[in-house]
Amino acid sequence: MEIYLPIADLPVNVFLVFFMGLAVGFISGMFGVGGGFLMTPLLIFIGISPAVAVASVSTHIAASSFSGVIAYWRRRAIDTALALMLLAGGIVGTTMGVWLFSQLRAVGQLDLVIGLSYLTLLGTVGLMMIAESVRAISRARQGKPAEIRRPGSHMWIHGLPIKLRFKQSKIYVSVIPLWVIGFVIGFIGAIMGIGGGFLLVPALIYIMRVPTGVVIGTSMILTLVTMASATLMHAATNHLVDAVLALILMVGGVIGAQFGARAGQKIRGEQLRLLLGILVLLVGLRFAIDLVIRPDELFSLRVEGQ
Partner 1 sequence: MRISALVIALAVAIAAASPAAAERLVFALSSHRVLINSSFAGAELVLFGTVEPNGTVRQNPSYDIVVTVTGPRQDVVTRQKERVVGIWVNADSRTFTDSPAYLAVLTNKEIDAIASQETLRRQQIGIDNTVISGDSGGVVNNDPFRAAFLRLNRQHGLYREDRKGVTFLTPNLFRAGIQLPASSPIGIYRVEVKLFLDGKLLASQDSALEIVKVGFEQFVAAAARDHGFLYGLATVTLAIMTGWLAAVVFRRD
Residues that bind partner 1 (CB under 8 A): 3-7, 9, 59-60, 62-71, 74-75, 108-109, 111-112, 116, 228, 231-237, 239, 241, 243-244, 246-247, 250-251, 254-255, 257-258, 291-295, 297-306
Q: From CA 209, how far away is CA 63, in angstroms rounded?
A: 28
The residue type found at 130 is I
Quick count: other Cβ atoms within 10 Å of Cβ 99?
Answer: 14
- Residues 244 and 55: their CA atoms lie apart, in Å, by 12
* Least distance (Å) between residue 287 CB and partner 1: 10
**One-letter amino acid for residue 197 of the chain:** G
Q: How far is the CB of 4 from partner 1 (least distance, A)?
A: 5
Q: How many CA atoms lie within 13 A of 93 on its CB side?
A: 28
Do the Cβ atoms of 61 and 34 come closer than 8 Å?
A: yes
Closer CB to partner 1, 90 or 177, in the complex: 90
CB of 1 or CB of 148, closer to partner 1:
1
Q: Which is nearer to partner 1, 21 or 277 (CB)?
A: 21
Burial of 283 (0-12, 13-18, 19+ CB in 10 A): buried
CB atoms within 10 A of CB 168: 18
Q: Are 227 and 58 in contact (CB under 8 A)?
A: yes
**Three-class DSSP category at 163:** strand
As measured in angstroms, the least distance from the Cβ of 232 to partner 1 is: 4
Q: How far is the CB of 261 from partner 1 (least distance, A)?
A: 9
Q: Would you give the distance in Å from CA 25 to the centre of its chain?
A: 12
Phi and psi angles of residue 74, each rounded to the nearest 5 degrees, phi first: -60, -35
C-beta of 74 vs 163, nearer to partner 1:
74
Among residues 148 and 293, whose Cβ is nearest to partner 1? 293
CA 192 to chain centre: 8
CB of 241 to partner 1, least distance (A): 5
Least distance from partner 1 to the Cβ atom of residue 61, Å: 9
Query: Which residue lies nearer to partner 1 by CB, 148 or 292?
Result: 292
Q: Which is nearer to partner 1, 178 or 230 (CB)?
A: 230
59/133 with CB nearer partner 1 = 59
Minimum CB separation from partner 1 for residue 80, in Å?
18
Give least dist CB 107 to partner 1, A. 8
Alpha-carbon distance 1 to 138, whole Å? Answer: 47
DSSP letter for 148, please.
Answer: P
CB atoms within 10 A of CB 218: 27
Strands 2-5 and 10-13: antiparallel
